A and B are shown apart, each in its own frame.
Chain A
Amino acid sequence: MISSAVEEVARCRGQACRHDAACRGWDRFRAHRPAIVAAAVMATLAALAALAPWITPYQPGAIDLHHVAAPPNPAHPLGTDELGRDVLTRIVWGGRISLAAGVSAMLIAATVGIAYGAVSGFYGGLVDSLMMQAVDFLLSFPAIVVLLILASAYHGSVLNVILYIGLFGWMGMARLVRAQVLSLRERDFVVAARSLGASNLRILVRHLVPNALAPVIVATTLGVAGAMLIEAMLDFLGFGVSPDTPTWGNLMTNAESYFTTAPLLAITPGLVITTAVVCVHFIGDALRDALDPYANRSGR
């Protein structure tokens, strides 16, 4: 998505692009000023996380016995944790897992949701009503309770956490895609494709899904914010990624006990998560304006 956004910027730098849909989209995204700041912040966080092994001053597990639970000092700009590990290093490393987990969980959710919703909306009738009843049933499940039960039974690996969050997030997407496909499948371009001999699969994959994608992209982006929060909560409760791995949630788990002596230990990771979640949300909001201008814009 980033590379295509860059291309759009490049094209818009030229002039007469008022009639190009992608350019108008970019104009609408740009009009959302907080989103531009948010995108810059997220790009920085992502770049820092990606480059962590090369830019952090210490190893994430390195222990400095001269500075244990130390306040910020020249050697450790954000101080050290209760074992003498550099907090800045661990926050930068933590971003690798926390950001990647949020994004991949929602990519799983989007993939499942698109496939499920497209099939349901395309075939309609009994198939549709059965598939949607299954979705309604799953939505009536107290998802977070089941998620916690699963995560507490099998936890430790990042992959599990991603899978759990992803598998509980696709139902909303499926509904979105189904509604889009339902309205699209009667359109002339589908009739045209069919009369040219296109198979059902081809119509679904090449014609319906791409046209139904805009609201899914928005929902996925907004979902990343929620997924990051759930991941942090699982880590904090001790049912997420194994506790020695630096993630933003894990960083806060032990910090609680040291709040009186080293308050920064708990404050910093929380601020980073909150910032990231706010930024992702702003980006999602602007994407909605850019991609889906007719959507019902709640909260604005």
Chain B
Amino acid sequence: MRYAAGRIAQAAPALILISVGAFAIMHLAPGGPTTAYTHNPLVSGQQIAVIRRSLGLDDPWPVQYLKWLSSLLQGNWGYSLVDGRPVLTVVLERAPATLLLMTASFAIALTGALPLGVVAAVRKRSTLDHALTFASFFAWAMPVFWFGLMAQSVLAVHLHLFPVAGIHSTGADDPLDLVHHLLLPALVLSLGSIASWSRFLRSSLLEVLSQPYMATARAKGNSERRATMRHALRNAIVPLVPLIGLDIPHLFAGAVVTETIFAWPGMGRLFFDSLVARDYPVEMGLLMMTAALVIAGNLTADLANAALDPRIRLGARPG
């Protein structure tokens, strides 16, 4: 519990620092809130000065930052430059689709990576292991957008196995239709994680399998299967947990590309659209959102790690 409290206390300053970074980017980026008026001959320099004053743009930076932060904390994240709606509303209405996509691809990645990693480690240097090594190299090396395009063209456009894009067929809103639309993007998004997690699990499991306590486990009469599954896997998974936590930002980057290709109405697609439209308030809202996501991911990973490995919890250096 003490460990958990300490880790949560560490996360707060990181979020504040990131908000400073976001604020700085927003103010250094070309364009600024009054750009729309500077080229308008009907708006005089004097009027721009009035607008600047009313928006508080003449205040010193620290004052502006504190005002921005306090309204951020009160749930006022500014307004989209595209349609004038509040940023928080725009972002939150896209969040469920992204969470669904990321959860689905996370589940696919875990169910794919665990058995593949175990099989590769148990059958070390077999043909299957070599084939998996080769395949994961390729899976890792393929650009996500290219794999997405290929999967979309072959499986959806040519073979009609999946819908090409979107989240619902027109007029339909049953869960089955949703799952049908979800499968292909989730699969594309999970490929990289399957490759890297299964590789990592393989090497970590190989290391554990050569530990003396594995000999003990076998000597006590455990079958090889039971020794591997009950004794080795449990220990081999521990180092995988922080890796999974660190993968969350990559997953989000993948979501930007995947959602763009499959017209999935989530935060990734929103991010891409806001980048194209230079909609800075929405960009910053999403930056803060992903920063929180990344920190939460790291935090969860650390806490899960502490739960799995008493040495971390009790303050000893992990071995």
Contacts and interface: CB of A to CB of B under 8 A. Distances in A.
Nearest to A136: B14
A128 to B, nearest CB: 18
Interface stretch (B57-65, B99-107, B135-143): B135-143
Contacts of A299: 133, 199-200, 202-203
Contacts of B68: none
B143 A298 contact: no
B3 interface: no
A79 B275 CA distance: 33
B115 interface: no
Given A140-B14, A145-B252, A148-B256, A277 B272 contact: no
Contacts of B250: 144
B1 to A, nearest CB: 23
Interface string A216-240: 0000000001000100110011110
B278 interface: yes
Report whether over half of chain B's contact residues are helix, strand or loop; otherwise say mixed.
helix
A145 B286 contact: yes
A259 B275 CA distance: 26
A149 B25 contact: yes
A267 interface: yes
A98 to B, nearest CB: 11
Nearest to B198: A299
A265 B202 CA distance: 37
Contacts of B25: 146, 149-150
Interface in B261-300: 271-272, 275-276, 278, 283, 286-287, 290-291, 293-295, 298
Contacts of A270: 142-143, 146, 149-150
Contact of B275 (A137, A148, A269, A300): A148
Contact of A149 (B18, B144, B199, B275): B275
Nearest to B139: A274
A140 B18 contact: yes
B146 A145 contact: no
Given A144-B252, A256-B149, A274-B138, A233 B143 contact: yes
Contact of B203 (A269, A281, A298): A298
Nearest to B260: A237
B138 A278 contact: yes
Contacts of B133: 299
Contacts of A259: 149, 153, 157
B143 A141 contact: no
B203 A267 contact: no
B249 A145 contact: yes
Interface residues of A, number: 43
B29 interface: yes
B256 to A, nearest CB: 7
A274 B18 contact: no
A14 B204 CA distance: 40
A281 B204 CA distance: 20
B253 A145 contact: yes
B194 interface: no
Interface in B116-151: 133, 137-138, 140-146, 149-150
Nearest to A255: B149
A274 B143 contact: yes
Contacts of B200: 298-299
Interface string A261-300: 0010011011001100110011000000000000001111
Contacts of B142: 270, 274, 277
B252 A273 contact: no
A142 B290 contact: yes
Contacts of B278: 152-153
Interface in B7-34: 14, 17-18, 21, 25, 29-30
Nearest to A263: B153
A260 B153 CA distance: 8
Given A153-B30, A236-B143, A252-B146, A266 B253 contact: no
B203 to A, nearest CB: 5
B249 to A, nearest CB: 5
Nearest to B142: A274
B271 A145 contact: yes
A31 interface: no
B301 interface: no
B262 to A, nearest CB: 12
A224 to B, nearest CB: 12
A127 interface: no
B141 A278 contact: yes
B145 A252 contact: yes
A143 B249 contact: yes
A149 B286 CA distance: 10
B298 A225 contact: no
Interface in A128-144: 137, 140-144
A141 B145 contact: no
B242 to A, nearest CB: 12
B145 A233 contact: yes
20 contacts: A137-B17, A140-B14, A140-B294, A142-B252, A144-B253, A145-B249, A145-B287, A146-B21, A149-B275, A233-B257, A236-B143, A249-B143, A252-B145, A259-B153, A259-B157, A266-B146, A281-B137, A281-B141, A299-B133, A300-B203
Given A149-B25, A152-B276, 16 more contacts: A137-B17, A140-B18, A142-B249, A145-B253, A145-B286, A145-B290, A232-B143, A232-B145, A233-B144, A237-B275, A252-B146, A256-B149, A270-B143, A273-B146, A274-B141, A298-B204
Interface of A: 137, 140-146, 148-150, 152-154, 225, 229, 232-233, 236-239, 249, 252, 255-256, 259-260, 263, 266-267, 269-270, 273-274, 277-278, 281-282, 297-300
